Amino acid sequence: MSTLNKTGLRVAAAGAAAALTLAVGAPAFAQTEAPEDATTPATDASPSPETETESTPATDTETTETETEEEEAPVVTEPPVDEELPEASEEGYEYEFAFLNHILTGANPGETLTAFPHMRVNGESGLGDERGATVLWFEDSSDVDAWFNDGELVFTDAVDVIADYDNCDRFEETVYCVLTDFDPQVGTTYTPSEDTPVLYEVLNAVTEADGAAYGAYDITKDELAIEIEAGLDPESDNNLTLVETEWDIEDEYFSDFFGWVFFEGDDRGWGQVPGGENPELPSTGNSSIILISSAAAALLAGAVVFFMLRRRKAATTWE
């Protein structure tokens, strides 16, 4: 799909968040105010007769010229000192979508897993009337430790997401799905329909470091037209679709930017993974929700805290 190349999307999202944080939390860069009397009156700088110039030490002339240049330069280049931060930065930024973290059980080599990630709509689309569709993106497995500790996106080749629908296409390690009939309602949580789960193929034994990110963003009507021209069929009967979910989950467990899908295999144990015997927890197919607060999930340098909080929440919620 020609307009859906979003390589480095997660890195860009984290960078944008950091920029917003700096803009909101830090004052404007310090600026040196120009002196009120930065120049010397022209009458004081009148030239001396030639004979007097010869008797005047050269060092005095050089010093005067240097001081004048140093005083005059700020007057030309100094920006206004009372410049205000943009209004958007002062008020903060509300993300349109938020995501839950999930775990897929039975993640053994050769298995294909079904996932039902949950996405909530927090606000209206920033594109307004120009919005043409919503794009869901799903990545292959990557190294969670590398991302949270070093901010590096390193794919592990353990699990691949499958582009099994006509409105989905793969570009490198990411599958993009264009939802043309999706009408997001603020405050509503959505998940793939029972007939159109997200599919993951387990290629190699998973480790605790394996996780697959997913997220969403909107595209314009013009961008949608390009996708249709490139072969997208909005009317196909084999399209991934979203439906409303009735699960009532607190706001603190939704994360901005993107969500995570983790993997549970026979050779690797997470402990306290919810099973079908607990009807109070969302569990469909191989997919079960992990309740991780968004604050913990946002710690790029706190992988240890991240996993400890997740396990503590599991112990108190799933027993």
Smallest CA-to-CA distance from 20 within 91, 123, 79 is with 91
Which residues form the domain of 265? 94-317
Same domain, 131 and 55: no
Domain count for the chain: 2
Same domain, 256 and 210: yes
Same domain, 61 and 119: no
Report yes or no: 121 and 188 within 8 Å, Cβ to Cβ. yes
- DSSP classification of residue 300: T
1 in any annotated domain: no
Encode the chain (319 residues) as per-residue pLDDT tens digits: 555 654 334 434 443 333 333 333 322 222 233 334 444 444 444 444 444 444 444 555 555 554 544 445 444 444 444 544 334 333 334 468 999 888 888 899 999 999 999 999 998 988 889 999 999 999 999 998 888 888 889 999 999 999 889 999 999 999 999 999 999 999 999 999 999 999 999 999 998 889 999 999 999 999 999 999 888 888 899 999 999 987 777 777 788 889 988 888 887 655 444 433 333 444 445 555 555 555 544 443 233 334 333 333 333 332 2
Same domain, 207 and 157: yes
86 in any annotated domain: no
Same domain, 145 and 65: no
Question: Which tens digits make up the pLDDT trace of 44-72?
Answer: 444 444 444 444 445 555 555 545 444 45
119 in any annotated domain: yes
Which residues, 6+ apart, have CB-to-CB distance to 259 below 8 Å?
99, 100, 101, 102, 117, 118, 119, 213, 214, 215
Same domain, 116 and 252: yes
Same domain, 55 and 155: no
CA distance 316 to 173: 35
Q: Positive or negative CA dihedral for 213, 216, 219, 225?
A: positive
87 in any annotated domain: no
Same domain, 165 and 101: yes
11 in any annotated domain: no
